Structure 1
């Protein structure tokens, strides 16, 4: 009766897990709610940030009602916004788009090498987009200060050229007719980096106080979800370490979060994309994140104010990265002096394993030309390299099984004297040359390696939109073939974890076979739970990316082959487990009769 009751409880808990998974994810990773308007600042840094707020139409200036009214008034279609005049075209090897001369904004960035959808005829990814559009995300350069008229969000700058290209920088100019001349010289490299030299010259009769600034504003409605394995949201490098801590919800709750000392870069990250600002090295500045309400957020980078006497000028050089989180590109910028920039990818603790694995995956893909095949071959290589470790663990298990009868005798003989029992056990281990923890150490060594492989497949942008075979057109997306709607023949969408595809079904079968082949002796309840677990995990893992399921299936098949081989080399493992299983079954039968 107890076994039946435990089994029913296990089945009920598994059902709750399956049905409540989507609700749990929505609870733990919710969309940031609307927020009240930012309070009026009181510190010098907050006052300068508030000055930026007043010089920008990206957010509110008084109350939440004003925010919503402004949002409604400026809501525009993307094509309509980009069709307006006063733009300088961007044409670089890997990005294209335009600069809005109204407000000196970089608000149109498309990534030439990355498609928006899996359809090969789809356009490129639109990363930056103008304010008021559904995907608004842009960088802005400007000046705040005292003692003179300053450019604001409505200022129309004059451009020195029509196209910003790697060999063709563009200078934006504005004269306030009060003696101050403002310039922003923009240049772009062959990847994703735009450099802005912000200069103000005081040709007037009296001193003025100026603070150049740069901001990145974005909506969180189009952001990827932040999870325990991959951070998405505000990000920055401060004091030589990357802060993955705050997410959009944190910024909403705090209204504004100040950046720590010694900032190297600051911005917003998604799983595959990054918008970040890099300040001038050695220049004094303050940074932070701010909630603007209505799912809008801003990263600030404000240089310390400088008093400009007549005839003097200052220049501050900032950079904006707007592009894909390609490990090689980020590492290249890090080698050029941007501290910790390669860690914009949330590698975690095992990055020393993950980066070599990603490099090997790229090399295999360059040879075979199919990313799914590359995942299979990479999994085989990693499992092959770890095979000696697994073999050593099995040998240790076999040694322990061989002396198990003697261990039981010692346990019975000294059951009332635990100290003596331990001493005799240690003596037995030493005589037989057995290390009782040697079987665990190989397993512990394998954990970081296999976790690193798993995380590489989640973070690697190289897997995005890569096909495998037949119906799998995108390995970074869930398996599109769903068994419950007969692979699309029935006219309904299968929800959440019920969307079982062939890869998920194969995963359940291979996991069941793996558990079945394991000779470890278990009591009846454990056996029942382990018999259910593969099918529960099959539902849990069905929404995961097809590339991950392909990796798990390959790993399970290799595990089966490895177990078959090692058990053939150490038959005493299976014999001992079968003997223990028979003894437990006989004992359970005798207890039931009693």
Structure 2
């Protein structure tokens, strides 16, 4: 076995061992929830506060407390109904806190629930968006609508993509606050907040939009290859903060909160991202704002805010500001369209990883192949063919070099016999032979090195992108983002009992069709070359295909499909190229000798 093949197999085996070890050692933690609610930001402080209860919230300038308000659960609601969304808006705070995605279900089972993205306080996992005005300049929380103040519905009865709604609240100071909420055909809400100062005193206030999340998501993956938590863009700089990192912010003892604050000059957005879903507040381009991510230990509330500069509204004057809210699925085309419409670098909200220069074009090609073919499984195979075609010039040089090295094998054995234990003499004579025969023993390394980042980039694409979720291929393989659903345990569905649950020890042992095909394809590729003469190395490499077969049994089916296709194409390429160079690999002879545990022939 050549050194480059040995290094490839060892490196790949170690990589997968690290991945599986991490998954076993760091499982998703159990989330906790808290029945309390988030709090509005302060207009003047550099780091807004949050508290355990609304009544404990500090005033922006005076320290006044909020007045009592109806509970969110008892407040009237305004329905949301579009082709892709269904839910409602609570008139308590005018919060968008009930939203489901019609196009997505939690599983492939018949009658499975649609995905619930936003949930009100009092539910299992509260998650909601609130907009408002933070008081400043002597105003108290009673002078502006709080996040629990009950609004009245001024116009509209149902929020649709064709019909906005308008909410109204009259301040004790005489000011009239309105909130116009619109939604497009996909997942973007537009919230226009306006204030008419009908009082006798000037008003100093700051518009804000916030997203609150009580506890971690119930379906948190907590897997190192995936970012879940805060995602933010500030003047072209992307920030990603995991949930478990947020409590590590600098402590603010006087406020009981921990916060990360960034001042945005031109454009940006901030919110929370899950595996496939996202909620993001997006101020208008060209508007500076304070970007805040914070966590309150006492109430276990994660919160992100976009707080715009304070404005002063004189008596008889009015002021309005429009902020967008994305609440939906991270569909590549939809997010790209929003980016084209002006949301700065919105496509980067998808977790492309360190190899973004590979994952982005790989996904682009996979997406368009899927549109062309109409089946994601065949698109993955088409992607594999395309990648192998692009790397073919390098592969050709590699396999030609390997064929020449096979031809020089007898001469190399003679040199080893002459050199004996003299390592320096051995290296000198080997280099002279390579120079004379115009062979570069390292020429086969580059294709192998390129395959490693490509493989991990494709793994990232398959694991992270929404387009692979519940994507069918053929037969029992109806979700390429999930492990192989077949199993030896029920003889691939022929027996009446169910296969082991994915992720369990039984599922790791009783593998399915795809991992078995992967092991066979790796074994055949290995038999293309004679085994190492060293008995220990020969035993290790003989076991590797079957070790990988069990290791990859719990990986996404789409990734295993790619690896099977890659092994098959690689085997075909190597066999044909080596034959064209006069070397005839004795695959069947190697198989027979491997079964007999005898020496393996190296015929020409």
Asked if 1:538 is matched to 2:533, the reply is no
Task: Kindly state the Cα deviation for residue 520 of structure 1 after the two structures are TM-superposed.
Answer: 5.8
Distance 1:199 1:569, change over 3 A: same
Take 1:48 and 1:198, find their aligned partners in 2: how far apart are those partners?
23
Q: Which has the larger displacement, 378-387 or 145-154?
A: 378-387
Show the 5 A alignment for 1:541-560. 541-560=552-571
What stretches of structure 2 of length at least 5 have no aligned partner? 1-12, 59-69, 250-256, 600-604
Distance of aligned partners of 1:461 and 1:231 in 2 relative to their CA distance in 1, 3 Å threshold: same
What TM-score comes out, normalization by structure 2 length? 0.78
Could you tell me which of 459, 467, 473 is aligned with 1:462?
467
- TM-superposed CA distance for 1:560, in Å, is 3.0
1-side partners of 2:33 and 2:103: how far apart? 36
Structure 2 counterpart of 1:498 = 506
Q: Is the 8 A contact 1:129 1:136 kept in 2?
A: yes
1:57-456 correspondence to structure 2 within 5 Å = 86-119=76-109, 121-146=111-136, 147-148=139-140, 149-159=143-153, 160-218=155-213, 219-244=215-240, 246-254=241-249, 256-262=258-264, 264-293=268-297, 295-403=300-408, 429-456=434-461
Deviation at 1:180, TM superposition (A): 1.9
CA drift of 1:215 comes to: 1.0
- 1:267/1:332 CA distance change after superposition, 3 Å: same
Mark the CA change 1:191 to 1:518 in structure 2 (over 3 Å): closer, same or farther.
farther
Q: Residue 31 of structure 1 aligns with which residue?
A: 29
Match of 2:61 in 1: none
Corresponding residue for 1:471?
476
Write the distance in 1 (CA, Å) between the matches of 2:420 and 2:470. Answer: 64
Q: How big is each residue's C-alpha offset from its partner over 1:512-569, in whole Å with a ceiling of 9 and x where there is no partner? A: 3333334363522222222233333223222222222222222223333333333433
Partners of 2:211 and 2:24 lie apart in 1 by 27
Instruction: Look up the match of 1:49.
Output: 48
| Contact 2:181/2:191 (<8 A) preserved | yes
Q: Does the 8 Å contact 1:32/1:295 carry over to 2?
A: no
Deviation of 1:338 after TM superposition, in Å, equals 1.6
Q: Distance in 1 between matches of 2:194 and 2:413?
A: 83
Displacement after TM superposition at 1:306 (Å): 2.7
C-alpha distance in 2, partners of 1:433/1:321? 60
- 1:527 aligns with 538
CA 1:559 to 1:313, structure 2 compared with 1: closer, same or farther past 3 Å?
same
What's the CA shift for 1:278? 0.9
Give the distance between the partners of 2:270 and 2:156, measured in 1 at CA.
29
Once residues 117 and 124 of structure 1 are traced to their aligned partners in structure 2, the CA distance between those partners, rounded to angstroms, is 9
> Could you say what secondary structure the match of 1:49 adopts?
coil
Task: Say if 1:46 and 1:560 are closer, same or farther in 2 by CA, change over 3 A.
Answer: farther
Cα gap change, 1:381 to 1:497, in 2 (>3 Å) = farther
Which residue of the partner structure matches residue 70 of structure 1?
A: none
Give the whole-Å Cα distance in 2 for the aligned partners of 1:517 and 1:145. Answer: 74
Structure 2 residue matching 1:304: 3-state secondary structure: coil
CA contact (8 A) 1:510 1:553 kept: yes
Q: CA deviation at 1:403?
A: 4.8
Q: Does the CA-based 8 Å contact 1:32-1:248 persist in structure 2?
A: no
- Any idea what the Cα deviations from partners look like across 1:452-474, whole Å, max 9, x if unmatched? 33332222322222233333332
Following the alignment from structure 1 to structure 2, what is the Cα–Cα distance between the partners of residues 309 and 143?
Answer: 16
> Secondary structure of 1:517's match?
coil
Larger mean CA deviation between 294-303 and 157-166 belongs to 294-303
State the distance in 1 between where 2:169 and 2:271 align.
27
Distance 1:436 1:480, change over 3 A: closer
The whole-number CA distance in structure 1 between the counterparts of 2:211 and 2:110 is 30
Give the 3 Å change call, closer, same or farther, for CA 586–342 of structure 1 in structure 2.
closer
Question: Distance between the aligned counterparts of 1:279 and 1:372, measured in 2?
Answer: 39
Partner of 1:590: none
SS at match of 2:477: coil
The change in CA–CA distance for 1:247 and 1:183 in structure 2 (over 3 A counts) is same
The aligned length equals 543
CA distance in structure 2 between the aligned counterparts of 1:383 and 1:538, rounded to whole angstroms: 22
How do 1:507-518 and structure 2 match up within 5 A? Answer: 507-518=518-529
* Cα distance change on mapping 1:223 and 1:280 into 2, 3 Å: farther
Give the corresponding residue for 1:71: none
8 Å CA contact retained: 1:361, 1:375: yes
Partner Cα distance (1:519, 1:483) in 2: 31
The structure with more helix, counted as a fraction of residues: 1
CA distance change for structure 1 residues 31 and 527 in 2, over 3 Å: closer, same or farther?
same
Conserved? CA contact 2:71–2:92, under 8 Å: no
Distance (Å, rounded) in 1 between the aligned partners of 2:472 and 2:422: 64
The 8 Å contact of residues 386 and 446 in structure 1, kept in 2 or not, is answered as no
Where 1:339 maps in the other structure, the secondary structure is coil
Q: Residue deviations 1:327-364, cap 9 Å, x none?
A: 11112222222222101111124434433433333333
What is the alpha-carbon distance in structure 2 between the residues aligned to residue 439 and residue 413 of structure 1? 26
Question: Which moved further from structure 2: 321-330 or 379-388?
Answer: 379-388
Q: Secondary structure at the match of 1:221?
A: coil
Bigger shift: residues 448-457 or 459-468: 448-457
- Give a deviation string over 1:179-215, Cα, whole Å, max 9, x none: 2221222122222111112222322222332122111
CA distance in 2, matches of 1:375, 1:571: 33
Tell me if the contact between 2:227 and 2:275 (Cα under 8 Å) persists in the aligned partners: yes
State how far apart, in whole Å, the 2-side matches of 1:524 and 1:425 are: 24
